[in-house]
Amino acid sequence: MRIHKLKMVCLLAASVVLAVPTAHAGPGDNSLTWASQKEVVSAETYFDTSRETVVIAQHVYDGLVYWDQESEDFKPLLAKSWKQIDPTTWEFELRDDVVFHDGSSFGPEDVVYTFNFITDEANGILNYGDIRWLKGAEQTGEHTVRLTLRESFPAILSNLALVLPILPEGHYDTAVEGTDGAKRYMAVKPVGTGPYKVTNFEPGEAIVMEINGDYFADSPKGKPTIQTLTYRTIADESTQLAEMMTGGVDWLWGLNNDQAKALSAAPDVTVINAPTMRISYLTLDLKGTSGTDVFTNRAVRRAVAHAIDRDRIAKFLMGENSQVVNAACHPVQFGCASDVTVYDYDPETARGLLASAGYPEGFTIEAYGYRDRAVAEAIMGDLAKVGIKTNLNWLKYGALRDQIVEGKVPLANMTWGSSSIPDVSAITSYFFGGGPDDPAKDADVQAAIREGDLATDPEARRAAYAKALGRIAEEVYWIPLFSYTKNYSFNAALDFMPTADELPKFYAASWK
């Protein structure tokens, strides 16, 4: 089987080589080209929250602090030190030797500008949920800034490290106005302090980053050694594999298991299946506003939970490092409870629950997805076995999320990566804390989450989150499925190791 698949990949590679000239990347010119299907239209992570854009932003921008996965500790980045003044006030002492890619000096005014811009809801940043705890920032000294929180937020350092890059003062002043009168912030030229600077950008096609020769030497990100990073959008999976085989691409991710097995037999290619912090889940129309009220009945929701063979899907479609998830969070996140109601795969129980709810013959609904069609189809196949027939609709994430928030979607297979933040506030609080993405609006759940979000004692936080997660599972407000893994394929000459945060650190990679 493996030899057959490898021959297929090689034939695809040959056809691509005959069709178009391939620009070889790699150790020869100390460059690295990576690719995925995502059309990156902006390097502005505040206005494009796709995983690829977040990865690019980690190379172009820096935050105040750095999360070191290996030591599981926060380290100084643009901030030299920090201290908590009181429950809602934090002060940061900043470095005085950092310059932006445009040559301007980094200072407190840049931090103040960044945080005051993103906290203004009128500016419409897409990850506003990640900073809802932040009220604003002010300069308090030549090299110090003070952040004022709306309320105590123990996960502040995680968010500062992973989702809040610092921009130069006035960064968005040059944004052009569209015909609809809205500013096109995502089209502003990217300027950061990170280890790489953007030198060429063709939205939807490619982005080129060159090493930042002025990057400060003692950054916890380290001094990068690869001179040029290039991201390419390659929509066709066969073309991706062919480019990997012929040297046009050095690094791929998101391969399905068959593709990974095929490439693992190829010479000079390394394939790794690694865990991530992303989970798959089903969200349901709990209010009955989508044209059907079937999921307002808890017995029906429980039937769906028992109908899905999560272990099989995780094993065969994700890989060896995937695990079944029972709570509405990722097991590695702080505060993620394990003692919740578990819905084992049990089609007979599922059929019994449907009958008790008044659906002995099942029913038909519209189902939605945006990512990994094979996973969605496997779920729909399991539902069909207990009498729940589905019509699968496929949308882009943004459009699907909007329809879910508007209550127009009966059932959807979604995923969430928590912006790689190792804390349940990045997922459970986001989806069940009363915001627009909260499908339940359960006052008891919201109260428990708020208690966990505000508590400074770690054990008190765990207890509060456990209460919320227990009720979410008992009421089946969500149906968590499994954790994602990612198949990585890269040039065997590349010294690279994936991490669970799903943020490849090319600035730490090198050619052997």
Q: At 453, give phi and psi (nearest 5°).
A: -65, -30
Q: Is the dihedral of CA 501, 459, 73, 169 positive or negative?
A: positive
Would you state the structure tokens that stand for residue 27, as one six-digit string? Answer: 């150790």
Residue 98: inside a domain = yes
Q: What are the distances in angstroms from CA 453 to CA 153, 162, 309, 461? A: 6, 18, 33, 7
Task: Look at residues 491, 504, 487, 497 and name the one whose alpha carbon lies nearest to residue 246.
Answer: 491
Q: Tell me: do 326 and 452 sit in the same domain.
A: yes
**Residue 267 confidence (pLDDT):** 86
End-to-end CA distance of the chain: 32
Q: Are residues 391 and 444 in the same domain?
A: yes
Does residue 357 contact residue 310 with C-beta atoms inside 8 Å? no
Residues 217 and 338 in one domain: no
Q: Any idea what the CATH number is for the domain that residue 6 is in?
A: 3.40.190.10
Q: CA-to-CA distance for 62 and 57, rounded, in angstroms?
A: 8
**Domain shared by 161 and 222, yes or no:** no
Burial of residue 269 (number of CB atoms within 10 Å: 0-12, 13-18, 19+): middle
Residue 184 inside a domain? The answer is: no
pLDDT value of position 324: 97
Report how far residue 233's alpha carbon sits from residue 37's, in angstroms, rounded to the nearest whole number.
5
The verdict on residue 54 lying in a domain is no
pLDDT for the residue 31: 97
Give the tokens for residue 90: 């934090």
Could you tell me the CA-to-CA distances from 178 to 47, 106, 181, 368, 446 in Å, in that order? 15, 30, 5, 31, 38
Question: Do 456 and 311 reside in the same domain of the chain?
Answer: yes
Query: Residue 55 falls within a domain, yes or no?
Result: no
Tell me how far CA of residue 114 lies from CA of 105, 111, 159, in angstroms.
15, 5, 14
Residue 131: predicted pLDDT: 87
Residue 2 is predicted with a pLDDT of: 35
Per-residue pLDDT of the chain (512 residues; tens, 9 = 90+): 333 433 444 433 433 333 333 456 688 899 999 999 888 988 888 998 888 999 999 999 999 999 988 888 899 999 999 999 999 999 999 999 999 999 999 999 999 999 999 999 999 998 887 788 999 999 999 999 999 999 888 889 999 998 899 999 999 999 998 888 889 998 999 999 999 999 999 998 999 999 999 999 899 999 999 999 999 999 998 999 999 988 999 999 988 888 888 888 888 999 999 999 999 999 999 999 999 999 999 999 999 999 999 999 999 998 888 999 999 999 999 999 989 999 999 999 999 999 999 999 999 999 999 998 999 999 999 999 999 999 999 999 989 999 999 999 999 999 999 888 889 999 999 999 999 999 999 999 999 999 999 898 999 999 999 999 999 999 999 999 999 998 999 999 999 999 888 899 999 999 99
Cβ neighbours around 111 below 10 Å, total: 27
Shortest CA distance to 126 belongs to which of 427, 400, 398, 416? 398
Same domain, residue pair 242 and 102 = no
Q: In whole angstroms, what separates CA 166 from the centre of its chain?
A: 19
Taking the C-alpha atoms of residue 11 and residue 471, their distance in angstroms, rounded to an integer, is 53
The predicted pLDDT at position 419 comes to 82
CB 186 within 8 A of CB 45: no
Structure tokens at 143: 């090299």
21-46 b/e (C-beta count within 10 Å ≥ 16 → b): ebeebbeeeebbbbbbebebbbbbbb
Q: Is the dihedral of CA 263, 267, 268, 273 positive or negative?
A: positive
Asked whether residue 96 falls in the same domain as residue 146, the answer is yes
Which DSSP string corresponds to 126-189?
Answer: TTGGGGTTEEEEEEEETTEEEEEESS--TTHHHHHHHT-----TTGGGGPPB-TTS-B-GGGSP
Structural domain boundaries enclosing 87: 65-172
Residue 25 confidence (pLDDT): 65
Count the domains in the chain.
3
Amino acid (one-letter) located at 339: D
Measured in whole angstroms, the distance separating CA 106 from the mean position of its chain's CA atoms is 28
Last residue of a domain, one of 172, 205, 236: 172
Global confidence as pTM = 0.78
Q: Are strands 89-94 and 79-86 parallel, antiparallel or unpaired?
A: antiparallel
